[in-house]
């Protein structure tokens, strides 16, 4: 078991695992937790980007190539965490796939990819993380959901279904493991904007773009979810995660909604 690293910061000595750590909100979260003194395990599929981020964040960062939708890949990743740290204090299920498209146009692969990443992925990571969080004497799981569960948007049937399932998972695990001091929080996140102002949640819908965007704009969906301030920054998303993870023991946030207005 290695040392988890000391130093300044309100999370010094903590070990946090972040899925989808090399881009968008996940990247900002990883950077912020490292700044706060945590040892950060970066989980993502791209080995080169993981290596670059390890070098940026320094010795507290450990990159582990992981496909969250593959249970064997997840088992291997969390075994690596156990071998190096012997525990996990915080799991952040940030990885997600958002690809709006007309329901009838969805291929088997489209459906499988979204369900594997958005729902099966957190199921696998939570299952693997809980013994390590228990070994830490308790900790936090933060699952990233979406405003799509609160409003009905066109072309979002599968995405909405996965995020609703993720919220149900959080409720169930929060109750099951409450007595073991394992807190589970669902973060219902508004649109997060990365560098250049682009949404970190939006994957180009390819051949369906000409159908999706005009309707979302005509019905006011885009303006409604982004708000007059133009959406959240990924840095503000990271702030919310720090807030959740640093609540005093005995305080539990079941659901947090963070959005621009």
Q: What is the pLDDT of residues 79-119, one digit of tens each?
A: 999 999 999 999 999 999 988 888 999 999 999 999 999 99
Look at residue 1 in the predicted model and tell me its pLDDT.
Answer: 34
Residue 10, in any domain of the structure: no
Strand order in the sheet with 61-65: 61-65, 39-44, 15-19, 90-93, 139-146, 182-189, 255-258
How many CA atoms, within 13 angstroms, populate the side-chain half-sphere of residue 183?
21
What domain range includes position 172? Answer: 15-258
Count of structural domains, the chain: 1
Please compute the mean of the pLDDT values over residues 188-205 and round it to a whole number. Answer: 57
Confidence of residue 203 (pLDDT cuts 50, 70, 90): very low
Confidence of residue 191 (pLDDT cuts 50, 70, 90): confident
Cβ atoms within 10 Å of 236's Cβ, excluding its own = 17
Residue 35, in any domain of the structure: yes
pTM comes to 0.90
Kindly state the percentage of the chain with pLDDT values over 70: 87
159 is annotated as an active-site residue = yes
Residue 212, in any domain of the structure: yes
| pLDDT higher at 49 or 192 | 49
Q: Output the domain CATH number for residue 243.
A: 3.40.50.720
């Amino acid at each position: 078991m290695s040392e988890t690293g000391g130093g300044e910061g309100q999370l010094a000595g903590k070990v946090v695992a972040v899925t989808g750590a090399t881009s968008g909100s996940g990247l900002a979260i990883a950077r912020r937790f490292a700044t706060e003194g945590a040892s950060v395990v970066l989980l993502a599929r791209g080995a080169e980007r993981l290596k670059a981020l390890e070098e940026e964040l320094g010795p507290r960062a450990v990159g582990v190539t992981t496909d969250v939708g593959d249970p064997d890949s997840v088992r291997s990743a969390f075994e690596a965490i156990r071998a190096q740290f012997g525990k996990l204090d915080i799991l952040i299920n940030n990885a997600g796939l958002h690809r709006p498209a007309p329901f009838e146009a969805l291929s088997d692969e489209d459906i499988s990819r979204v369900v594997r990443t958005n729902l099966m992925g957190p199921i696998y990571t939570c299952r693997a993380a809980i013994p390590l969080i228990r070994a830490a004497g308790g900790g936090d799981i933060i699952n990233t959901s979406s405003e799509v569960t609160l409003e009905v948007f066109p072309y979002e049937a599968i995405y909405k279904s996965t995020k609703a399932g993720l919220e149900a998972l959080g409720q169930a695990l929060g109750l099951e493991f409450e007595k073991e001091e394992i807190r589970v929080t669902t973060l219902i996140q508004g649109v997060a904007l990365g560098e250049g102002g682009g949404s970190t949640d939006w994957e180009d819908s390819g051949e369906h773009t000409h159908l999706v965007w005009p309707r979302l704009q005509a019905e006011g969906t885009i303006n409604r979810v982004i708000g007059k301030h133009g959406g959240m920054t990924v840095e503000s998303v990271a702030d919310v995660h720090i807030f959740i993870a640093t609540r005093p023991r005995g305080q539990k946030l079941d659901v947090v909604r963070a959005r621009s207005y």
